[in-house]
């Protein structure tokens, strides 16, 4: 398996751990776009949001729950953003489903 995020999950590529449980792992983005920029990934390899199947519905919910838990721990009381880039037009560059949790500054809208 050549997937970089699978290697981060199994520890063969180093990362800065933020949160983990039996279903997901969260770590600091290597090129942060905000004071807090955390990636949340399922431990199992799923290529993208577009590749999710019905049996993964609860896992998708769990990833959102994890994002909210992490945000609460980071005291992002002024708000934050959760982003799932999907596919070419969505700007996805790593083909392992991941949530970006961004916070610590005011984020503009609409995105580019």
Beta bridge partners of 83: 100
- Residue 24 touches which of Zn ion, ligand AMP, none (CB < 5 to 8 A by kind)? none
Q: Which of 55, 93, 106, 108 binds ligand AMP (CB under 6 A)?
A: 93
Greatest extent of the chain over all pairs of C-alpha atoms, in Å: 39
43 binds Zn ion per the rule CB under 5 A: no
Compute the distance between CA of residue 18 and CA of residue 41 in angstroms, rounded to an integer. 12
> Across the chain, where does the E strand assignment appear?
17-20, 24-28, 36-42, 80-83, 99-103
62 carries an active-site annotation: no
Q: List Cα–Cα distances, 28 to 18, 21, 78, in angstroms.
A: 7, 16, 20
Interface with ligand AMP in residues 5-44 (CB under 6 A): 13, 15, 29-31, 39
- Residue 68 touches which of Zn ion, ligand AMP, none (CB < 5 to 8 A by kind)? none
- Scanning 51-59, 70-78, 84-92, 104-112 for contacts with ligand AMP by CB under 6 A, the matching segment is 84-92
Report the nearest approach of ligand AMP to the CB of residue 2 (Å): 13
Give the chain's count of helices (H) and strands (E).
2, 5
Which chain residues interact with Zn ion by CB under 5 A? 3, 5-6, 45, 96
Catalytic residue numbers read 98
């Amino acid at each position: 398996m050549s997937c970089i995020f699978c290697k981060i999950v199994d520890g063969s590529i180093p990362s800065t751990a933020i949160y983990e449980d039996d279903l997901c792992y969260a770590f600091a983005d290597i090129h942060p776009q905000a004071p807090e920029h955390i990636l949340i990934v399922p431990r199992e390899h799923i290529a993208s949001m577009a590749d999710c199947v019905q049996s993964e519905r609860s896992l998708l919910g769990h990833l959102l729950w994890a994002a909210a838990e992490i945000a609460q721990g980071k005291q992002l009381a002024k708000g934050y953003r959760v982003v799932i880039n999907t596919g070419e037009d969505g700007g996805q560059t790593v083909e392992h489903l991941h949530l970006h949790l961004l916070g610590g500054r005011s984020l503009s809208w609409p995105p580019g």
